[in-house]
Amino acid sequence: MQTLTKRLDYLFRSTRGLTLVAIAVVSIITAIYGTLSGPMVEWGVRDITVNILGMKLLEAEREGRIIMLYHTIAMTILAIEIYFMTEILPMKSHEQVTINATMTSGYLMAVIFGLLFAYWGHNFTYHGLFLVGQSLVFFAGILFMAALWPWKKEYRLEKDSPYAHTKGGIDLERMAFFIMALAAIISASFGAVTGSFWGNGHETFLGEDLIRVPHKTYLQKAIIGHLHIMLTLVAVGITLIVGRWMKFKGILQKIAMPLMVIGVIGTTTGALSVVWLEWAHTIIYVGSTFIMLAALMYVIYTWDLLIKEGTAGIEKPTFLQKVGALLKDPLKFGPGWQMVFMNFTVSGVGIFMAVKLDEIFRVWPHREERITLTGHWHILAALIATIILMYYADLSGLKGKVRKWFGWLLIIMSDIAFASATIFSMKRLFVDEINQQGAVNTLMLLMDLGLGIILVTLAIFLLWRLYDLFQEKGYWFKEFAAEKRLNAEAELIEQKRKMEELNAILKETSE
């Protein structure tokens, strides 16, 4: 019994354990639901999954199912980011515990009951519990904001701090996390308000199906704004997290953080004002430029850091030695690289589409424009996932060859898959419609190969973690012990601070 309790303690009361559970949840969802589309349908795997699991899939409900699926994955990813953030950002121990507990119960309820509702018949008790789960996630967000509150005295920085801060000492990185969370809460409300009209004047739709509809309803526009900004905010979240991981500081960080704060405010305002503003896109372009500039600062800082650290013992490093140093650790090089790569497969595509919309994309059939749109946001979501995995692999203590193989497979295979998907979505620019079979064969194979190898790598990683859980004193034990020690040390510091504060009050009142 104690054996089980210890494992459960690790899995549900430590950052690494909670993250491991959440990654396992996303992986299981991906493994099961990935069999319902694409080549798995061609190979007949879909029918096997549906029969074995007894799923009830009605054709008219497909879009609704997909929306529920997106939400369950999104809740889990939000949970992972929250776990990371509550660990790396200074906050009180009880705040971390409360936020994580609320988040965990929320996302698990949303996942379990959301998927039951969507794929196993419309029992509205499940739908209600799915909403309870999402509400808990929302509430965790509120608690997180309260814990972050950047104006608190104890979180102010010294004047000579190398981290971005205001004249009054307000930590601008903390402010960026706070604003990101606030934007997510507001955006979630937009989704919730529209969702509350579901079956009551509002019908399920996929955003990409409406791109050519000239007159969309307010509710439709609200959903379109909501889905775009939520994904952007998740991307902002992981950018800030890896910045913290790499100890992003100095002049570049001091430039980046105000940019990030302004960018998040601008992009969120733009995305949500799509509902009533004709020129909302202009606000989005300005806001996202600020965010991308902040990310660029991060990339310059970390790559410079990796080169300096990797060539520390060399007096005058050559170009190749610098490149070698940069590429030495794929897990630390990867997040920055994926952000750069994102410019070719996500932002670049988006900008190209916006500039050439009437000239090229609106001349193509809707289906083709739709593929490009869905392609580029799926790629953004997947790039975020790879960065999360890199960070988690580092937290898991991957070392040596395993670290290199894991990191490089993640980078190379994802980039092959996403580059192929981007070219696939734009194949009309290069190949006539009538001669596309060859291009389709090659690109589909590369996509499947890249994604397949990533999933196999992830599966091996998770199986190793599962095997480790059966060990008496495996990695899990060491991780848990290290985390408990860190928490205890942090708590001691907090208690000391509190004691000093109370003593000061006593002294003040006794005089």
Partner 1 sequence: MKQTLFILTLIALTVAACVPAPSVGAITPPYVDTGIDPESWALIPAGEFPYGQHDHMTNVDYDYEMMVTDVTNEQYASFLNAALADGTVSKGEVDVEAGEQVWQEVGIYGYYPGDSFDGYKHEEEIKAGDKLFLPTQAEGVRLTETNGIFSSIPEYANHPVTMVTWFGANAYCEYYGWHLPTEIEWEKAARGTEMVNGYGFPFPWGGHIERNNANYYSSSDLFEKMFGKLGNTTPVGLYNGKTYDGYETLDSASPFGLYDMAGNVWQWMGDDYPDQHYRMLRGGSFYSYAVDLRVWKNNSAGPQYYSPQVGFRCAR
Which of 8, 28, 53, 63 is the binder for partner 1 (CB under 8 A)?
63
Rounded to whole angstroms, the Cα distance separating 315 from 230 reads 46
Q: Which two tokens stand for residue 348?
A: 């670049």
Distance CA 248, CA 180 (A): 18
Count the helices and strands in the chain (H runs, E runs): 18, 0
Site string for partner 1, 296-335 (x = CB under 8 A): ----------------------------------------
Q: Which is nearer to partner 1, 138 or 364 (CB)?
A: 364
User: Whose Cβ is closer to partner 1: residue 433's or residue 489's?
Assistant: 433
Which residue shows structure tokens 């937290």?
A: 395
Q: Say if residues 393 and 329 touch (Cβ distance below 8 Å).
A: no
DSSP state of 267: H
Q: Which of 158, 160, 278, 472 binds partner 1 (CB under 8 A)?
A: 278
**By CB under 8 A, residue 41 contacts partner 1:** yes
- Tokens representing residue 110 in the block: 């949303």
Based on CB atoms, which residue is closest to partner 1, 17 or 207?
207
Does residue 436 bind partner 1 (CB under 8 A)?
yes
Q: Toward partner 1, which CB reaches closer, 173 or 369? A: 369
Q: Residue 356 contacts by C-beta under 8 Å, 6 or more apart in sequence? A: none
Token duo for residue 189: 């409300």
- Phi/psi region, residue 37 (left: phi>0; alpha: psi -120 to 50; beta: rest), is beta
Q: How far is the CB of 192 from partner 1 (least distance, A)?
A: 21
Buried b (16+ CB within 10 A) or exposed e, 322-358: beebbbebbbbbbbbbbbebbeebbbebbebbeeeee
Q: What is the distance between the alpha carbons of residues 183 and 482, in angstroms, rounded to a whole number?
A: 34
HEC string for 9-20: HHHHHCHHHHHH
How many CB atoms neighbour CB 58 within 10 A?
A: 10
Residues binding partner 1: number (CB under 8 A): 37
Closer to partner 1 by CB, 156 or 362: give it. 362
Binding marks (x or -) toward partner 1, 345..374, rule CB under 8 A?
------------xxxx-xxxxxx-------
Query: Which of 32, 132, 142, 449 is in the footprint of partner 1 by CB under 8 A?
Result: 449
Does residue number 446 form part of the binding site for partner 1 (CB under 8 A)? yes
Which residues in the 191-220 window bind partner 1 by CB under 8 A?
203-204, 212-215
What is the sign, positive or negative, of the torsion defined by CA atoms of 355, 356, 359, 364?
Answer: negative
Q: Which is nearer to partner 1, 62 or 249 (CB)?
A: 62
Closest distance to partner 1 from the beta carbon of 439 (Å): 9
Q: Which of residues 389-418 bind partner 1 (CB under 8 A)?
A: none
Q: Is 51 in the site for partner 1 (CB under 8 A)?
A: no
Binding residues for partner 1, per CB under 8 A?
41-42, 58-60, 62-63, 203-204, 212-215, 278, 357-360, 362-367, 432-438, 440-442, 445-446, 449
